[in-house]
Amino acid sequence: MARVHHVFPKWTNLLLPGSIIVLAVAPFYVLLMVTYGFSPRATDVGYQPPQPIPFSHAVHAGRLGLDCRYCHNTVEHAAKAAIPPTETCMNCHTQIKKDSELLKPLFESHETGNPIPWVRVHDLPDYAYFNHSAHVSRGIGCASCHGRIDRMEVVYQQQPLSMGWCLECHRNPEPHLRPLDEITNLAYDPLVELTPQQRRQFRIDNSINPSQDCSTCHR
C-alpha cells in the first residue's frame, strides 16, 4: 500500500489557511489606511491651514475677551459649533477698522452676500459621530479638546482627535470635569482649581458616564 509521503513537515499545513486569511483581509486594511488612516485632517496635530481673512482669536477671544459663544453660538445646544456669519463681524467692523485692507474680503462678503470661505481645521471622518452639546453641557471645556485658542493668531489642531484619544477620556473623564460656568474659560485648569474628591463628586452628582460602545461614535 502506497503511503502519502510527507515532503513538508506537518505544521506547514497551517500556512495555506493562514495566507488565505491574510490575503483576504489585507485589501480592506489597506483601504482603511488609505481612506482614513492618512487623512491629515483627522490625525495631524498642528494642522493650520491659512484663512481668507487673518482673523485672530488671540485678539478677539484673548485681548478683547469676547466669549466663545458670542460667535460659536450653537455650541451648547447642537452637535455642530456654528462658524459666525459675516453679520456677526459687522456688529463691530461697521465702525472699527473700517478702512483696513485686511478687512476688504469681509466688506465684500457683506455687500455681495457671499459667505466668507473659511477653511475647516478640525474634521473627523464621516463615519465618526461627534456632538458638542453632549460634552459642553456635561462639564468638558473647549480647552480640553482645542487647547489655548485664545492665544492663537491662526487656529491649529492641538489634539490628535484619534479614536484612542476619544476613548482615553471616555474611560476616565474625571481630570477634565469642570463647573458649567467655566466651560469657555480657557485659563481655568480643573487639575489646579479642583481636588480629586471634588472632581469625583462632580461626576457622581451629575451621573457622568461616557459610553465606550462602538455605536456611540459609529452610527
Q: 84: which 3 cell numbers?
A: 459666525
Instruction: Report residue 76 CA to chain centroid gap.
Output: 15
How far is Cα 66 from Cα 123, in angstroms, rounded to an integer?
A: 25
Q: Does 110 bind ligand HEC (CB under 6 A)?
A: no
Q: Does 92 bind ligand HEC (CB under 6 A)?
A: yes
How far is Cα 86 from Cα 42, in angstroms, rounded to an integer?
A: 27
* Shortest CB 197 distance to ligand HEC, Å: 18
Q: Which of 77, 80, 98, 104 binds ligand HEC (CB under 6 A)?
A: 80
The count of residues interacting with ligand HEC (CB under 6 A) is 79
Cβ proximity to ligand HEC, 19 vs 196, nearer residue = 196
* Shortest CB 174 distance to ligand HEC, Å: 9
Cβ proximity to ligand HEC, 16 vs 87, nearer residue = 87
Scanning residues 145 to 164, which ones bind ligand HEC (CB under 6 A)? 145-146, 149-150, 155, 161-163
Cβ proximity to ligand HEC, 10 vs 219, nearer residue = 219
Task: Name the maximum alpha-carbon separation found in the chain.
Answer: 103
Q: Does 51 bind ligand HEC (CB under 6 A)?
A: yes
How far is Cα 171 from Cα 190, in angstroms, rounded to an integer?
A: 18
Q: Which of 96, 180, 191, 204 binds ligand HEC (CB under 6 A)?
A: 96
Q: Which residues contact 16 (CB under 8 A, 6 or more apart)?
A: none
How far is Cα 72 from Cα 39, in angstroms, rounded to an integer?
A: 26
